Structures are given as C-alpha cells and as structure tokens.
Structure 1
Amino acid sequence: MSTEAWGRVVALHARIEGELGKALQRRHGLGLSEYRALDHLSRATGKNDSMRIQELAEALELNQSSVSRLVARMESAGLSERDICEDDRRGIYTMLTDEGRKTLAEAAPTYRETLKAALEKAEADPQLKDTVTAFRTL
C-alpha cells in the first residue's frame, strides 16, 4: 500500500470517527470510546458477562490509565460497575448495568445510521470514493 493510499484510509477513518463521535454525544451523551466499551461489554462471556479491565483496554486499543478513567466515567453515569476478581485480587472486572444495556440499545441505531451516512458522504468525495468502495467489498 502506498503512503498516498494509507493517507486516504487515515482521512476516511478520521472523518467517520468524527461524525460518529458527534452523533453519539449529541443524541445520547456518549463518547465514542464509551459506546465501544458498552458494545464490547455487551458481548463479554466471562464471569457475569464481564471483562477484566485489561481485556477491555486491549479490545479498545487504549492504555490501562485511559480505560480506568473511561470505566470510572461509565460507573458514575450508572452504565457499568466493577467487581474484584476472586481468583486474583489484583484483577478488576467491569460489567454492564441494566442502564448500560438500555443506553447501548438506544445508541446502537444512531451508530449504525451515522456510519452508513458517513460512508455515503465520503463516497461522494472523489478522493475517498475508491477507499470507501474497497472497504465495502470486505
């Protein structure tokens, strides 16, 4: 892949992330990282459908410190709760609350609709059209 093609991928990613973040914040008061954390937690199959904080950090491609702050914000909003790992007292799990599941269910259509619209908008840009087409064929 050429640096020019990579630049188009980065531009497409930035544009879509920006639109997703704005829509989620405006309609649901959620940041994009919070939405993605809720989504990962909703698919967790561990203890009580929870994930270790470290696993969530890896899934979100964020460092431990950033995810700890993210989880603290989600807890303050009533979207998730923490639990200590009984096998390893150093390990901390996080899991969705009922409010978190409800918030995710309400925000998911916004995410999907915004993603679709952002891709369509980007496809209309001659510099990004081929990049969007390539992603649509994956």
Structure 2
Amino acid sequence: MSSKVNAVENSADAQVWNRLLALHAYVENRLATALQRGHGLGLSEYRALSFLDQAQDNELRMTVLADKVGLNQSSVTRLVGRLNAAEFTYRDPCPDDKRGMYTVLTDAGRARYREASTTYSDTLTAAFDEAAAIDPAVASILATVREAR
C-alpha cells in the first residue's frame, strides 16, 4: 500500500497541484499582509467589497455573498458585521423574502475598496513574479495562465 501512496503523491498531477497550493498560500499571505497593513482590511473583507462593487445596485443577498467569498453562513455574518461596523456596508431586508437580507455597499466602502484595489493588484503581480523567479515550474504555469487571459 505504501508504494501506491508514494506513486500517487509523486505523480505529475500531484506535483503540479502541490506547486499550485504552495503558490496559492504564498500569494494569499502576501495579499493579506499588504491589505491589512495598507488599508486595515482582511482578505475576505476586501473580496466582499470587490463582489459588492461589481454587483448590480452594489448589493448581494447574504447567501450569494457567502458563496462568492467562500464562507459559510456564520462566517459571512461576522464578516458583514465587521463591514457594517466600519460603515462600508449596511444590511437591507429583502422585500420579497422576509427571511432574506441584502448587504449593500456604501460610498465609504466603495472608496476603501478602490483605494485597496491598487495595493491588491500590485501585490498580486509582485507575488506572482517573485514565485516565478524562485521556481521555474511555477513560472511556466503562470506564463500559461497569463497567456490564456
């Protein structure tokens, strides 16, 4: 059994996946640090503001926001609570579903998102470039993905 497990762990796909996971962790760390230091935002908070900025009428149902940010209902409720406390969003009851709740982006939230978006973009590019310089396989992966844009 041990040799089968080692064979699977060492397969080409597993190696690519492990590189992608390492790249993901590296980039997420860099983004989280830059957003927190530069704008007082966590990565999930930034992403929530981004999705709200892109949404029609700058609002999303809480369940939709949870799916987009990749959080469960409890976690997105806490996230939106932080955004509300900072006056970046407010809650608005759903008119056709009394149980439903919208999260709506405020002007202050839009401004903070737009300020932070330059930091996000610059940090993302720098993290990709740094990771590519360290690992030629990651450089190849990134080149392929960047070409597919």
> Same fold by TM-score, threshold 0.5 exceeded?
yes
Q: How far did residue 62 of structure 1 move?
A: 1.1
Matches of 2:28 and 2:144, distance apart in 1: 18
The equivalent residue for 2:30 is: 19
The equivalent residue for 2:117 is: 108
Secondary structure, aligned partner of 1:62? coil
Secondary structure, aligned partner of 2:102? strand
The equivalent residue for 1:57 is: 66
**Structure of higher CA gyration radius:** 2
Counterpart of 2:87 in structure 1: which amino acid?
A: G
Matches of 1:10 and 1:134, distance apart in 2: 17
- 1:137 maps to 2:147: yes
Q: How far did residue 49 of structure 1 move?
A: 2.7
- 1:44 maps to 2:51: no
The equivalent residue for 1:72 is: 81
Greater helix fraction, Structure 1 or Structure 2: 2
Total equivalences in the alignment: 136
Give unpaired runs (5+ residues) of structure 2. 1-11
Give unpaired runs (5+ residues) of structure 1. none
The CA RMSD measured in Å over matched residues stands at: 1.2
Matches of 2:58 and 2:116, distance apart in 1: 20
Q: How far did residue 135 of structure 1 move?
A: 2.3
Of 16, 28, 31 in structure 2, the residue corresponding to residue 5 of structure 1 is: 16
Sequence identity (%): 47
Secondary structure, aligned partner of 2:134? coil
Matches of 2:132 and 2:27, distance apart in 1: 11
The 5 A counterparts of 1:107-126 are 107-126=116-135
